[in-house]
Amino acid sequence: MLFVSDGMRSTATDNQAYDRTTSNTMHPLPDALIPGQPWTALAPMQDVTNLPFMQLLGKYGAPDLLFTEFFRVHGHSALDQPMIDSICQHGTGRPVFIQLIGESLPDLERTVQEIETRQLPVAGIDLNMGCPAPKVYKKNVGGGLLREPSKVDEVLGCLRAAINGRFTVKMRIGFDSDEHFDVILDLVEKHDVDLLSLHARTVKEAYRSEVHYEYIQRAAERLPCPVLANGNVTSVAKGQWVLDETNSAGLMIGRSCIRNPWIFRQLREHFAGQPIFQPTLADVRGYIEDLFQATGHRKRDELSHVNHMKKFLNFVGLGVDVDGQFLHEMRRTKSKADLDAVCQRHLIDNGRAEQLFPEEPIKGLIARPNCETPQGCKL
């Protein structure tokens, strides 16, 4: 029997953030770290939500629920060691869900059986129906599934039958429109999905448009399972606004926790009515050093390591200076010494160390121009 490791068994029916009646066939979620608070969750992000980043969030304040980066299921796939390590060695004490992406029913069923056979300590299995990368959706997986409700029906039915424990889904509101949104919500309910995480943009909108939070409200009011709101939850204030607007059971946060790894801690403090930790630029400098140490790899040379860091620092830099000079200089670094010098100038020198790190990203700065401007998304 799969999926619930010691210390993670759920009493989530006591969670006041979600009090709608659930069906007898559904599996309640693990409690929030502080029972009764809305759930917080780490969004699955490819090449980000791996073991080092999960461990780092454990230091800065882990969310209630962790989701792995997606595992691509196909005819020759087998769980690899990095994925297993993410599940078994993250050390946060919080439950982790493994995310699968695929459309081959026999291979999805085989992968579920492999997870069970290995007795991996996962809290559940999540299906990716939202990835907006063209190289993904062109293979009719991830967000590409949303074009075919009949295929969604088959995949959900297959996984629900194969999974003995929690089965969750992360999706967007549609592929290029909301044409199938209500039909797919019906399928989520039909197949007793235990949690829906909804990013309220279409696949084709990627990260460029405003988030259509009214769709999260519709899902939360309609479905018997909890719904997590996802998309541009950038701060504590924005998170509370989203909860109020959507009536969702909690928040799933991705890119914003790369910029601000304290956000899950801050949300818990806010929900509890406690003083909220306010990091300084010196704290951000410490986080960057922790990131560098965490992302080191014996097969990665210095230049490759620095370039890999830029994936994270593109988001951190949204809160450093209004002119975007940190981003400009950071993107041109080629060594650890270069990177250290940029951080020293922009985060420590001339009294900057004691400045507070902004709660919201600075308007006008863009983390990934290829993905967040009208020119297109090239993930």
Residues with Cβ within 8 Å of 54's Cβ and at least 6 positions away in sequence, in order, are 42, 62, 66, 86, 90, 92, 96
Catalytic residue among 88, 131, 158, 371: 131
Beta-ladder partners of 198? 171, 229
Beta-ladder partners of 170? 128, 197
Q: Please identify which residue in the block is written with the tokens 């300590």.
A: 121
CA distance 363 to 341: 25
Phi and psi, residue 140, nearest 5°: 65, 35
DSSP state of 335: S
CA distance 62 to 261: 9
Q: Is 88 an annotated catalytic residue? A: no
User: Contact 311/47 with Cβ under 8 angstroms?
Assistant: yes
User: Contact 290/104 with Cβ under 8 angstroms?
Assistant: no
Long-range contacts (CB closer than 8 Å, 24 or more residues apart) made by 213-219:
213/242, 213/245, 213/246, 215/173, 215/178, 215/181, 216/242, 216/246, 216/248, 217/245, 217/246, 217/247, 217/248, 218/181, 218/185, 219/185
CA distance 38 to 31: 10
CA distance 130 to 193: 16
CA distance 214 to 19: 20
CA distance 266 to 282: 18
Residues with Cβ within 8 Å of 327's Cβ and at least 6 positions away in sequence, in order, are 313, 314, 317, 318, 320, 365
Annotated active-site positions, please?
A: 131
